[in-house]
Chains A and B, each alone.
Chain A
Amino acid sequence: MLNEFNPCRPCWDTINDKDDFNINHSYKNYTISPLETKVERNIRTRTVTPVVTGSSVAAFTFNGGVILAADVLGSYGSLAKYRNISRIHQVNDRTVLGLGGDLSDADYIKEAIDTKVEQDIIEEDGSKMTPLALYAWSTRLMYYRRTQLNPLLTNVIVAGMENNEPFLGRVNDKGSAYKEFLIITGIGTHLAQGWIRTILETSSQINKQQAEQLMDRIIKQLYYRDCRAFARYQVCIVTNDNVEFKVKEVQPDWSLASSLRNTE
């Protein structure tokens, strides 16, 4: 009788024929298991909300390479809990990955890609992961998880050198992917993408030093206006020669504070 007992169902307002000892025994008291798909059964195990999150990642191409920057913070809601997490992951000597959003899903993606890279090394057929291949593979992965209604709540930025040309693309948690010369994820899209795009479109090819300065300006702007930003950040520059990582600290300008006393 255990499979008929449903503690969630009130028993005072149902006709309880079971106690009538077979007189007019009614089958309507039997619980009927609802029709459910594998998705609904799995609903309890999927990632519903991101827990430890990384904020924005900014990236753009310049003359001769790609530059990415992301701060080193993992936020636990509004708490700045993990203050030394690297969100830019080097895949091989010409591809890097920038990750924002849920960081445990980001780790899953990093592991999956590292496994693929190891497979390539083992097979020893001389093929190496290119940014375009990684971009396509990430799109498939993110979209597959989306169709299972169990998304990886991360934004993936794939950057690198493809045939000696700079490559930059983004895949989001829904599996929507695009390639561009400027990609910013997270709240940075609202804070920085517009004016940076204007700058990049109207200026001719910028060189590596100008790109670094522009990136510092972007991160500073995000630090001013994003509640979940952090002063320490990591910059990654990919060129034909190498992949370079730097850790920098934002130099904010607070000089307006004294003149804005007694304002709300």
Chain B
Amino acid sequence: MDILNPMTYDAEEDRLRERTKYSQMDKHLIPMEFQQQPVSTGTTIVAVEYDGGVIIGADTRTSSGTFVMNRFTDKLTPLTDRIFCLRSGSAADTQAIAQVVQYQLDFLSAEMNEPPLVRIAANCVRRLIYQYRDDFVAGMIVAGWDKKLGGQVYSCPLGGLLVRQPVTLGGSGSTYIWGYLDNNYRPNMTKQECFDFVLKGITLAITRDGSSGGCARLAIINKDGVERVDVLGNDLPKVFDL
């Protein structure tokens, strides 16, 4: 237990912190404030499926301990034209995974002569996380649209599980909005309702979580393409604040 990193109830943050002990001597030689904290997209990511596509959203903060490294991060990383992944956990690990899977899917689509299925993309991500499960700290959500099954959301959390869900949350900020999800999500919502749900969820998480902040980046993925929306920090919906 130390002053700069008091308790967190988040598996990703805890594993990141214990993994990033570059040298045992650092603890003794360097004062606490100057010890490097792992760079994490300690974050809030949300993905929802609707009839005809998916809506995904994330905040824009990358932090290193309590320092904001990047307040305009883009956590919505394209894997293909119609498949995106949302990254949470170690920034380095998730960037590397996304890069490898981008290549794998690019190769696959050349082989098959058609865009890859979302499930295949999610499986690529999952295989990497599972293979290196003791080393990676990566919790990812793969969401997109394909011709066969339409809009799909797959969750690929820390240990290397693959599970399809109509709606899913990820990242440290997600702990604060599970209740919001349980209360406000209904199946078969319209596109606009889903959009508002995602935006509100991210806003609530940003308000409470210290590792999430900034703006909300959303994307609507359907057969016609990807529509990106950035909602700036001042324009987020108002929530109770006292």
Chain A interface residues (CB < 8 Å from chain B): 48-51, 53, 75, 77-81, 83-84, 153, 187, 190-191, 224-228, 232, 251-252, 254-258, 260-264
Interface residues of B in 1-37 (CB under 8 A from A): 1-3, 6-10, 13, 33
Find chain B residues with CB under 8 A from A51 CB.
6
B42:A78 contact, CB within 8 angstroms? yes
B230 close to chain A: CB less than 8 A: yes
The minimal Cβ–Cβ distance linking B155 to chain A, given in whole angstroms, is 22
Q: Within the complex, which residue of B60, B65, B68, B176 is in contact with A257, where a contact is CB–CB below 8 Å?
A: B60
Instruction: Give the residue name and chain of the B residue nearest to A256 (CB).
Output: B72
Could you pull out 30 A-B pairs where Cβ atoms are within 8 angstroms? A49-B2, A49-B3, A51-B6, A77-B6, A78-B13, A78-B209, A78-B210, A79-B176, A80-B208, A81-B208, A84-B242, A190-B33, A191-B67, A225-B71, A226-B66, A226-B68, A227-B42, A227-B68, A228-B210, A232-B241, A254-B232, A254-B233, A257-B230, A257-B232, A262-B78, A263-B72, A263-B73, A264-B70, A264-B73, A264-B74
Interface residues of B in 208-242 (CB under 8 A from A): 208-211, 213-215, 217, 228, 230, 232-234, 241-242
Counting contact residues on chain B (CB < 8 A from A), the size range is 35 or more
The minimal Cβ–Cβ distance linking B113 to chain A, given in whole angstroms, is 26
A227:B211 contact, CB within 8 angstroms? yes
A78:B242 contact, CB within 8 angstroms? no
Instruction: Give the residue name and chain of the B residue nearest to A232 (CB).
Output: B241
The minimal Cβ–Cβ distance linking B94 to chain A, given in whole angstroms, is 9
A226:B232 contact, CB within 8 angstroms? no
The minimal Cβ–Cβ distance linking A188 to chain B, given in whole angstroms, is 11
B66:A228 contact, CB within 8 angstroms? yes
Find chain A residues with CB under 8 A from B174 CB.
none
Find chain B residues with CB under 8 A from A252 CB.
233-234
Q: Within the complex, which residue of A81, A227, A255 is in contact with B232, where a contact is CB–CB below 8 Å?
A: A255
Q: Within the complex, which residue of B1, B2, B71, B210 is in contact with A80, where a contact is CB–CB below 8 Å?
A: B210
Interface residues of B in 99-126 (CB under 8 A from A): none
Closest 3 A-B residue pairs measured CB to CB? A78-B210, A254-B232, A260-B72
Q: Within the complex, which residue of A78, A153, A263 is in contact with B3, where a contact is CB–CB below 8 Å?
A: A153
The minimal Cβ–Cβ distance linking B187 to chain A, given in whole angstroms, is 30
- How far, in whole Å, are A183 and B29 apart by their CA atoms in the complex? 27
The minimal Cβ–Cβ distance linking B130 to chain A, given in whole angstroms, is 24
Find chain B residues with CB under 8 A from A226 CB.
66-68
B168 close to chain A: CB less than 8 A: no
The minimal Cβ–Cβ distance linking B93 to chain A, given in whole angstroms, is 12
B210:A261 contact, CB within 8 angstroms? no
Q: Give 1 or 0 for each of B57-94: 1 = CB within 8 Å of chain A CB.
A: 00011010111101111100010000000000001000
The minimal Cβ–Cβ distance linking B37 to chain A, given in whole angstroms, is 10
Given A77-B8, A254-B233, A227 and B2 contact (CB-CB distance below 8 Å): no
Find chain B residues with CB under 8 A from A255 CB.
232
B6:A49 contact, CB within 8 angstroms? yes
Known: A77-B7, A263-B73. 4 other contacts (CB 8 A): A78-B42, A227-B68, A252-B234, A257-B214
Q: Within the complex, which residue of A191, A225, A228, A263 is in contact with B74, where a contact is CB–CB below 8 Å?
A: A263
The minimal Cβ–Cβ distance linking A43 to chain B, given in whole angstroms, is 14
